Chains A and B, each alone.
Chain A
């Protein structure tokens, strides 16, 4: 049977809805909730299964490292669909058959089920990056092929929506800047907040606090990482409750069955699912956004269920809320927006694709003096410094731009994954066992250098010319490599981090700065960004400042695919803020006068 014959020839048309949402993760849940509040009839179509705590990842087996961490139970199966990868434009891309560098989410709740819940805001300067860096250092300071852009929104635009997302999640943290006033114990580099975090910071382990002490001793400003793992019981503005985190250390890669990690299931879905004007089709993969003859108006979506039946869901408004790369793929397959051409430097869909440039440092300590109990942890526990992030330092003498937060954010002491041994230890046998036993309690693994990755002309997404999915559609092809700028930043920050670990009293300090080429097999983060970016110019962006497609005004595209470049932070806080920002624009502007919200 050839791939295309697996889909029945005739699609069945369903009754029209006001809004169809593609993907029910964080942004889909938020948009669905906001638009149903507006009285609209909303349907969400989700590729993966329904998921809920007590039935799908209950506390009596959620902490199964083999099942979830090693065998990837919560993630998309590459058999269902995958991506192809290459470093350089002159290489032939090959399909990814086992996830490595990132973990594509799947199912209701999306990445919000299995994230660590690190809930950051980007710096005000991140949103006007090109303008800011050019003004400070001159245009010639940036590498010629770096394609960073301003976002078209500012931190001040987004501040109320960061606040909304944090109060939805119950984010735990210490404010560093309240209405312009710097607060002791918080991040002094952050943009001004209109009010404190909804919850106090989580408790920190011995290793996290020792790191913070050493960092402060070196003159840095440590603060607790903003966390979506609850420091105490919380009820959010929608009336949904979470319980206190138990510090079990099974967050990223796992679902939290204890109701203590912010996720769509623990913050929005209980309210959304009670609404009579909301419905959901799970296990249904959207294969195309349908447009009318002009190509300027979306008429709905086409999706396929698990039986191979094809359905058409007409709607007045389409909101694309899938994972970043699937957003881009669906736009390309639906022929919405001009595909990016890196040679001619034209087109927008696929442009400014980025990931992250993570580095780390391991510290091994004298076991008779240091006991870190690394298993007492949470996904977003930890102490961080922002002294090297964004443009918080003078990059003039350094010869690179960008940065990242540095943090002792060890999230777990899981036995398979977290058994670091000093370099030179045999890979197996008695000597390996001895070092695992000796260092399990007295090493710090997961020193995080959360490096930004800026955008370049030759890092992009397009449709693969060779490999197809089970429906016969081309796979999404990633062309991605690190550039010197990012690797220089990684080396610099890794040295700084190592100085802190040394100051803690480590007997062995092992630096692991990120090195090229970009490796698709080694996990970094799941923060893939760009490809359908927002901006002020339709020639260089797919979306306007409200995440509305320049080409198809009744299509909005949520998520990190809108980031023109990545910052030195985890993206979810910004993804959430942008979702609320777009929802507000739809509710207050678009519905009154459906059409382009920005005329360029």
Chain B
């Protein structure tokens, strides 16, 4: 059953693209396959599409997605080659300034929801390649009003001070005594991958708390877990293969990703090369763990633990098993998944309240989900069962309080995501 209409449509799209190609000054070369292909890879590593595409039915890179920040909502701009509403008229210099320096075409400062503090680690030629790739995607007319922040954050010049305080421009400098693989991993994690944008805790102005790099941070109602080499809370107990599997498929033998990280896997890391994933895993395992004494486990005799155990057996064990081992690649092992014992239980509470679906990838299409227990368990019961899960099977983490759950319950009630 031939479908010639498809071919005709493709021809039309190409013609439209050609017409939209702007005549701005550029050193990116639309004729250079190698550069475009390198740009596509880098755009995937940088996960541009995630923020610059609306969630439901948005055209790729056409912007319009609201990005939640602690200071309000910023809407991502259109970065397709459309001349009027996209970046078609930008010069390569304009593009480089935005991506690596956080400076808009009109000279105004970008908000660091755009992760230029990480993208600055890329080279000019990297960014030029991304630009070359973006010039090849279909131009979409979509006007976006980016800044919807409340006063005083709506004043863009305040960002000058922010940049002076928190932004260190400069390309990635390899460490000569480390392997090429490690250095590649360090570049990807601290540069285009911008892992710290979520996983590094922020100070009160939203700047990275660099002394606690990748030790976990609050983001969009989740806690992005510790991904340092910490053996209990970070990824130190996972092998390089375990970490690669998690980033590539969304699942490994002990855990699975969900929430914003699910999007990251689906849009970005599922499409990274195995070499890059190995490099990322190799680097992450060496990132220094946070200081501070490991928490002492809550005693099994504690009333919260006793109640938690009873709730766990009735409510959780059918999937996660009596001994917390779960089912590899299907139901996370609550005994072993490090995220369970995150210093900040936000994600765990949210998952119990809201339920969660893991991510579907080509290699792991199942995307199993957990239902919401908000209607079934009250705040004290959820606190008890989470305290039990965090302090059983050899684990230890601070108890979860009824108040913690109460606060989260109110937070998730207002969320549409």
A-B contact pairs, 14 of them (CB 8 A): A18-B1, A40-B1, A41-B3, A52-B369, A54-B355, A54-B370, A60-B373, A239-B363, A239-B364, A243-B330, A244-B327, A258-B318, A270-B365, A274-B360
Contacts A41-B3, A243-B330, A259-B368 known; 20 new A-B pairs at CB < 8 A: A18-B1, A40-B1, A52-B369, A54-B369, A54-B371, A55-B369, A58-B355, A58-B372, A59-B371, A60-B376, A233-B328, A238-B365, A239-B366, A241-B368, A243-B319, A246-B318, A248-B318, A270-B365, A270-B367, A274-B362
B306-337: CB near A (< 8 Å → 1, else 0) gives 00000000010011000000011111000000
Chain B residue nearest in CB terms to A259: B368
B357 at the interface (CB under 8 A from A): yes
Q: With both chains docked as a complex, state the minimum distance between the C-beta of A446 and any C-beta of chain B, in angstroms.
A: 23
Query: How far apart sit A60 and B376, CA to CA, in the bound complex (Å)?
Result: 8
A316 at the interface (CB under 8 A from B): yes
Chain A residue nearest in CB terms to B355: A54
Q: With both chains docked as a complex, state the minimum distance between the C-beta of A218 and any C-beta of chain B, in angstroms.
A: 38
Task: Give the 9 A-B residue pairs with the shortest CB-CB distance, closest first.
Answer: A58-B371, A54-B369, A270-B365, A243-B327, A241-B366, A54-B371, A246-B318, A241-B330, A233-B327
Chain A residue nearest in CB terms to B364: A239
B1-35: CB near A (< 8 Å → 1, else 0) gives 10100000000000000000000000000000000
Chain A residue nearest in CB terms to B357: A54
Chain B residue nearest in CB terms to A15: B5
Interface magnitude class on chain A: 20 to 34
Q: With both chains docked as a complex, state the minimum distance between the C-beta of B151 and any C-beta of chain A, in angstroms.
A: 40
A240 at the interface (CB under 8 A from B): yes
Interface residue SS majority, chain B: loop
When A18-B1, A316-B1 are in contact, do A257 and B371 touch as well, CB less than 8 Å? yes
A431 at the interface (CB under 8 A from B): no
Query: How far apart sit A55 and B370, CA to CA, in the bound complex (Å)?
Result: 9
A245-266: CB near B (< 8 Å → 1, else 0) gives 0101000000001110000001
Chain A residue nearest in CB terms to B315: A60
Q: With both chains docked as a complex, state the minimum distance between the C-beta of B272 and any C-beta of chain A, in angstroms.
A: 19
Chain B residue nearest in CB terms to A271: B365
Q: With both chains docked as a complex, state the minimum distance between the C-beta of B325 and any C-beta of chain A, in angstroms.
A: 11
Query: How far apart sit A274 and B365, CA to CA, in the bound complex (Å)?
Result: 8
Query: How far apart sit A248 and B318, CA to CA, in the bound complex (Å)?
Result: 9
Query: How far apart sit A59 and B369, CA to CA, in the bound complex (Å)?
Result: 11
A520 at the interface (CB under 8 A from B): no
Chain A residue nearest in CB terms to B314: A60
A50-72: CB near B (< 8 Å → 1, else 0) gives 00111100111100000000000
Q: State whether B366 touches A240 (Cβ < 8 A).
A: yes
* A residues 214-242 in Cβ contact with B at 8 Å: 233, 235, 238-242
Kindly list chain B residues whose C-beta atoms are within 8 Å of the C-beta of A41.
Answer: 3
Kindly list chain A residues whose C-beta atoms are within 8 Å of the C-beta of B330.
Answer: 233, 241-243, 259
Q: With both chains docked as a complex, state the minimum distance between the C-beta of B90 and any C-beta of chain A, in angstroms.
A: 31
Q: State whether B371 touches A55 (Cβ < 8 A).
A: yes
Q: With both chains docked as a complex, state the minimum distance between the C-beta of A15 and any C-beta of chain B, in angstroms.
A: 9
Interface residue SS majority, chain A: loop
* A residues 16-74 in Cβ contact with B at 8 Å: 18, 40-41, 52-55, 58-61
Chain A residue nearest in CB terms to B326: A243
- Residues on B lying within 8 angstroms of A by beta carbon are 1, 3, 315, 318-319, 327-331, 355, 357, 360, 362-373, 376
Chain A residue nearest in CB terms to B376: A60
Q: State whether A239 touches B371 (Cβ < 8 A).
A: no
Chain A residue nearest in CB terms to B319: A258
Kindly list chain A residues whose C-beta atoms are within 8 Å of the C-beta of B363.
Answer: 239
Q: With both chains docked as a complex, state the minimum distance between the C-beta of A419 and any C-beta of chain B, in angstroms.
A: 23
Kindly list chain B residues whose C-beta atoms are within 8 Å of the C-beta of A235.
Answer: 329
Kindly list chain A residues whose C-beta atoms are within 8 Å of the C-beta of B372.
Answer: 58
Kindly list chain A residues whose C-beta atoms are within 8 Å of the C-beta of B366.
Answer: 239-241, 259, 266, 270
Query: How far apart sit A18 and B357, CA to CA, in the bound complex (Å)?
Result: 32
Q: With both chains docked as a complex, state the minimum distance between the C-beta of B34 and any C-beta of chain A, in angstroms.
A: 28
> Which of B318, B357, B373 has the most chain A CB atoms closer than 10 A to its own CB?
B318
Kindly list chain A residues whose C-beta atoms are within 8 Å of the C-beta of B370.
Answer: 54
Q: With both chains docked as a complex, state the minimum distance between the C-beta of B103 and any C-beta of chain A, in angstroms.
A: 38
Query: How far apart sit A44 and B376, CA to CA, in the bound complex (Å)?
Result: 35
Kindly list chain B residues whose C-beta atoms are within 8 Å of the C-beta of A233.
Answer: 327-328, 330
Query: How far apart sit A300 and B1, CA to CA, in the bound complex (Å)?
Result: 15
Query: How far apart sit A235 and B251, CA to CA, in the bound complex (Å)?
Result: 14
Query: How far apart sit A258 and B327, CA to CA, in the bound complex (Å)?
Result: 11
Kindly list chain B residues whose C-beta atoms are within 8 Å of the C-beta of A61.
Answer: 376
Chain B residue nearest in CB terms to A236: B366
When A59-B319, A60-B315, A258-B318 are in contact, do A243 and B331 touch as well, CB less than 8 Å? yes
Kindly list chain A residues whose C-beta atoms are within 8 Å of the C-beta of B371.
Answer: 54-55, 58-60, 257
When A246-B318, A259-B330, A316-B1 are in contact, do A240 and B357 touch as well, CB less than 8 Å? no
* A residues 266-291 in Cβ contact with B at 8 Å: 266, 270-271, 274
Query: How far apart sit A429 and B373, CA to CA, in the bound complex (Å)?
Result: 37
Chain B residue nearest in CB terms to A40: B1
Query: How far apart sit A341 and B192, CA to CA, in the bound complex (Å)?
Result: 73
Query: How far apart sit A258 and B326, CA to CA, in the bound complex (Å)?
Result: 12
Query: How far apart sit A60 and B319, CA to CA, in the bound complex (Å)?
Result: 11
Q: State whether A59 touches B357 (Cβ < 8 A).
A: no
Query: How far apart sit A18 and B6, CA to CA, in the bound complex (Å)?
Result: 13
Kindly list chain A residues whose C-beta atoms are within 8 Å of the C-beta of B376.
Answer: 60-61
Kindly list chain A residues whose C-beta atoms are within 8 Å of the C-beta of B365.
Answer: 238-240, 270-271, 274
> Which of A239, A241, A271, A591 has the most chain B CB atoms closer than 10 A to its own CB?
A241
Chain B residue nearest in CB terms to A315: B1
Chain B residue nearest in CB terms to A242: B330
> Which of A53, A54, A59, A266 has the most chain B CB atoms closer than 10 A to its own CB?
A54
Kindly list chain B residues whose C-beta atoms are within 8 Å of the C-beta of A243.
Answer: 319, 327, 330-331
